[in-house]
Structure 1
């Protein structure tokens, strides 16, 4: 039995050393792939923004995160990147910032409740919805100087 545990320990140590030695290559590949995804989402957002207004950007971004089939991380980051680029290149919408509370760097309990309620009201369950709502809150505050 002792040999089994020593063998298992040796396998774990060899695996850890192997992983540690290959980590820089893996990380470099992941960073490259991540940056390509972000660039694609930004370009898609720019293109969409040139064709719509700010409310259209909100709607498209919410649809993208809700129907994304990738990891939650990639869906959220990609959706947020798309939304910001779209917003910056879109036409203003008259009422897009109505009833949006001021943005706080550290969300208050009221901010959290507003975001959650807003996503539920619109029928979006993805966590990316919360990011989009927070970004909308931030962008609206920046445009009004709040």
Structure 2
């Protein structure tokens, strides 16, 4: 029984050491893949924005994050990247920012409540929708 535990401990140590040696290569590959995904979503957002208005960008971004089947992180990053690029290349939508509360760098309790309520009204799951709503707040606040 003692040999089993020593063998297991040795296997764990070897595994940790091997992982440590390969971490830079793994991280480099992940970063490259991540940058490609971001650029692909940015290009898709620009293309979509040319064809629609700001409200169309909101709707498309919400649909994308809601139907995304990848990791939560990847869905929110790709959805947010798509949305910002789409918004910036789209035609303005009259009154789209009229009911959006002012953006604060650190979300206030009122900001959090508005985002939560808005996503609930739309019947969308929390994480992706909340990101898009916060971005809409920020983008509306940046408009002249």
TM range (shorter): over 0.9
- 2:31 corresponds to 1:31: yes
Does structure 1 conserve the Cα–Cα contact (< 8 Å) formed by 2:45 and 2:83? yes
* Residues 22-61 of structure 1: pairs in structure 2 closer than 5 A: 22-61=22-61
The 1:126/1:109 distance shift into structure 2, 3 A limit, reads: closer
Give how far 1:70 is off.
0.9
Give how far 1:128 is off.
0.7
Say which SS state the counterpart of residue 131 (structure 1) adopts: helix
| 1:134 corresponding residue in structure 2 | 134
Separation (CA, whole Å) in 1 of partners of 2:29 and 2:106: 33
Tell me which stretches of 4 or more aligned residues in structure 1 moved more than 4 Å. none
* Residues 1-20 of structure 1: pairs in structure 2 closer than 5 A: 1-20=1-20
Give how far 1:98 is off.
1.4
Does structure 2 conserve the Cα–Cα contact (< 8 Å) formed by 1:65 and 1:79? yes
Cα displacement string for residues 39-88 of structure 1 (whole angstroms, at most 9, x for unaligned residues): 11000000000001111100000000000111111110000000000000
Does structure 2 conserve the Cα–Cα contact (< 8 Å) formed by 1:66 and 1:126? no
Separation (CA, whole Å) in 2 of partners of 1:129 and 1:3: 53
CA RMSD of aligned residues (A): 0.9
Cα displacement string for residues 75-110 of structure 1 (whole angstroms, at most 9, x for unaligned residues): 100000000000000001111101111111110111
**Structure 2 length normalisation: TM-score?**
0.97
Separation (CA, whole Å) in 1 of partners of 2:106 and 2:12: 41
Separation (CA, whole Å) in 2 of partners of 1:2 and 1:69: 45
Structure 1 unaligned spans of 5+: none
